[in-house]
Structure 1
Amino acid sequence: MHILVVGASGRVGKELVSNLLHEGHQVTGTTRQKEHLFKNPNYRQIELNLKAQQKDIEISIPKETEAIYFVSGSRGKDILQVDLHGAVKTMIAAEKLNIKRYIMLSALHSLEPEKWTSIVDYFTGKYFADLWLINQTNLDYTIVQPGSLTETPGTGKIDVTNLDRQGDIAIKDVATALKEVLTQKNTYKKMIPMLSGSTSITEVIANYK
């Protein structure tokens, strides 16, 4: 499959691209970095300015793209222009280019404002981006909502049921979950909240309802 990963140089993005390449997919990664991130014949790299005009973003997306991952983020520096409006512009582009599959990296409790205890601006951006994807598009979306990201070894296991708590999850496990949902039609039009847990990611995603 030809896949566009928006935010390929981020912490989750790098792990996700590596996973997708390992599966044999053709991946185009977006980044502002000049250094080529992966030495793999199935990988190419482009610069995609999320602050650009809508038409310029649409022109930048490769015509053969079959699925889009949005895993980009401003790390709190430009939430409105990047995390929110940048995401929305890629959704609009996906619809105009007839790219039906769209996978969003969001955050645990993004649509539950009563549970936000910190980084409220970040959650607000995610809230409105997620709502746009759900209510303003006809895309076959999946919204992955992990807890706090940690740079710890992945366990390959998650929890998607006992989530009324603060918790974290390894970046590697989030990237694995993102990879697993790609072709799983049972995850279409779904939000998947997750924390570190005790059940195989593959099993959770394959049986998610």
Structure 2
Amino acid sequence: MHIVIAGGHGKIALLLSRLLADAGHTPTGLIRNPEHAADLRSAGADPVVLDLEKSTPEEIASALTGANAVVFAAGAGPDSGPERKLTVDRDGAILLAEASVAAGVARFVIVSSIGADDYDPSSTDGMQIYLKAKSEADAAVRALDLDWTIVRPGGLTNDAPTGLVTVAERSDRSSISRADVAAVIANVLETVQTIGTQFEVVGGTTPITEALGNLSGPVHTE
């Protein structure tokens, strides 16, 4: 498969690119900074310079044409202000999803956040705005004509992968390594049962393939 990953220079995206390339797929990473291109090539991905905050829908759709799947793994980052959390984590995800529809790429995977729907709408705290952005992006993706999967990982660590997770509609607020999140996404892209599902995932005791294979329908309630 040819898989386009937005936020291609992020830690999860680079780990995912290597997994996909090693499995015989063709990953392409969308990046804002051309100086990051070498890092993507080292991870087995083809870099494409494209800024979701500055590109037109037509330019984004053009970058996705011919792909088999699209992954939104971009983010404004923990040091960003409230405005960029909305323009990147929400608006960028929605723009990419709409571009996927326009480009005829049905398979769409979005990396969200555990507890995304539990934000305080009256709060100006950065974390609450981040959760709001993720929640609203997820809702927009669900409303589009896409074969979507929404992955909501717990607190992210740089620990070594275990290959063991817990997948549920609601999970405890524990952590998961970025490497295991990347492995979950790689498996999601090859698991039909994950289409139309939204789930939280944290470190656990079940092998990733088994945990995702146990999904029998949408793990999500409106």
In the superposition, the TM-score normalised over structure 2's length comes to 0.86
- AA paired with 1:130? D
Q: What aligned pairs does 1:48-67 form with structure 2 within 5 A after superposition?
A: 48-51=50-53, 52-59=55-62, 61-67=63-69
- AA paired with 1:21? A
Structure 2: which 5+ residue stretches go unaligned?
217-222
Which region of structure 1 is more displaced relative to structure 2, 148-157 or 104-113? 104-113
Q: Check the 8 A contact 2:114/2:173 in 1, yes or no.
A: no
Which region of structure 1 is more displaced relative to structure 2, 155-164 or 167-176? 155-164
Give SS of 1:166's match. Answer: coil
Q: Shift in Å at residue 11 of structure 1?
A: 1.2
Identity of aligned residues (%): 27
Q: Shift in Å at residue 42 of structure 1?
A: 6.2
- AA paired with 1:109? G
Whole-angstrom CA distance in 1 between matches of 2:66 and 2:142? 24
Match of 1:99?
A: 105
Out of 184, 190, 199, the position equivalent to 1:183 is: 190
Q: Check the 8 A contact 2:15/2:43 in 1, yes or no.
A: no
C-alpha distance after superposition, 1:2-55 (max 9, x if no partner)? 110111110111111111111110111111232422446963110111112222
- AA paired with 2:105? I
Structure 2 residue 84 is the aligned partner of structure 1 residue 84 = no
Whole-angstrom CA distance in 2 between matches of 1:81 and 1:163? 27
Q: Check the 8 A contact 1:163/1:195 in 2, yes or no.
A: no
Structure 1: which 5+ residue stretches go unaligned?
none
Structure 2 residue 202 is the aligned partner of structure 1 residue 195 = yes
Divergent runs of 4+, >6 A = none
Structure in which a larger fraction of residues adopt helix: 2
Give SS of 2:76's match. Answer: coil
Q: Check the 8 A contact 2:119/2:129 in 1, yes or no.
A: no
Whole-angstrom CA distance in 1 between matches of 2:89 and 2:77? 9
Give the superposed CA RMSD. Answer: 2.1
Give SS of 2:117's match. Answer: coil
Match of 1:127?
A: 135
Which region of structure 1 is more displaced relative to structure 2, 88-97 or 30-39? 30-39
Give SS of 1:45's match. Answer: strand
Classify 1:144/1:41 alpha carbon distance in 2 versus 1 (closer, same or farther; 3 Å).
Answer: closer
Q: Shift in Å at residue 183 of structure 1?
A: 2.2
- AA paired with 1:174? V
